[in-house]
Amino acid sequence: MNKRNIFVLGVVATAVFLSAGLASAEKITDDTGDVWHWTWNSNTGSYSWAHSVTSQPEIDIKEISSDVEGEQMVLKMKVSGDISSSNTLYAVFYNTTGATYYMMYSNGSGMCMAISGNY
C-alpha cells in the first residue's frame, strides 16, 4: 500500500445497491492550499484563523474516489502530504443516489459504513 498519497479505507459490501457484474468509478477532486484552522494566537491573546497547509500538508485532501465492481465498493482518499500524524482524524461523507457512505480514518485504522435510502 502506498502510504504517501493514498490509502484504502475499506471495502463496503453493496449487494443491496448494485447488480453483480456492474463496474463503475467516480472521483471528486479538491484544490490544494485551501485548508485553514481555528487556533489560539498567543501574541494577540485570542483565537484566529491560521493557514494549515504549510505546516501540515497531510490534512489537505486532494481527491476522494470510489470504484465499484460487482458487490464491492472501494473508497480512496489522496492527500497532499504523508499521513503520519496520530493527531489527525479524517472523516468523509460520500453520497450517491442509492446510499450514503461514511469513512473515518485515524492513527493507522479506519471504518466504513453505508446507509441505504430505503431503511
Residue 85 has a pLDDT of: 64
Give the contacts of 81 (CB within 8 A, at least 6 positions apart).
Answer: 56, 57, 58, 60
Q: What is the pTM of this model?
A: 0.57
**Among the ranges given (14-18, 32-36, 113-117), the one the predictor scored with the smallest mean pLDDT:** 14-18
Comparing CA positions, the residue from 11, 13, 9, 30 lying closest to residue 105 is: 9
Comparing CA positions, the residue from 67, 58, 59, 56 lying closest to residue 28 is: 67
Comparing CA positions, the residue from 79, 76, 68 lying closest to residue 30 is: 79
What CA–CA distance (Å, rounded) separates 77 from 64? 5
Confidence at 86, pLDDT banded by 50, 70, 90? low
What CA–CA distance (Å, rounded) separates 57 from 79? 8
Please provide the size of the chain in residues.
119
Of the two residues 49 and 14, the one the predictor is more confident about is 49
Of the two residues 3 and 49, the one the predictor is more confident about is 49
